[in-house]
């Protein structure tokens, strides 16, 4: 994952700064754009789980996915109604 050293590489910051320098002014809100990041997985660690731990992990993942979908849908709807 990207650490603090990579914070300077965030293209959202660069595009906002460029917009401010171009006369857009600080009062204009910059729209968030998806940022592609290259990620390398160095290793995968696994540990044995009991059936109950696996069930709870699957439920937690499902909750996270639902939360993400709800948040994404809400953000999309608010962008469409501007």
pLDDT in tens, 30-72: 677 777 888 899 999 999 999 999 999 999 999 999 999 999 8
Q: Report if pTM > 0.85.
A: no
- Provide φ and ψ at 25, rounded to 5°: 80, 155
Question: With the C-alpha atoms ordered 3, 39, 56, 50, is the resulting torsion angle positive or negative?
Answer: negative
């Amino acid at each position: 994952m990207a650490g603090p050293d990579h914070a300077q590489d965030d293209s959202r910051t660069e595009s906002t700064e460029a917009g401010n320098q171009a006369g857009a002014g600080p009062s204009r809100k910059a729209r968030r754009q998806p940022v592609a990041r290259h990620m390398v997985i160095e290793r995968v660690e696994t540990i044995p789980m009991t059936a109950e731990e696996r069930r709870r992990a699957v439920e937690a993942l499902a909750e996270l996915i639902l939360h993400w979908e709800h948040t994404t849908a809400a953000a999309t709807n608010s962008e469409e109604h501007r």
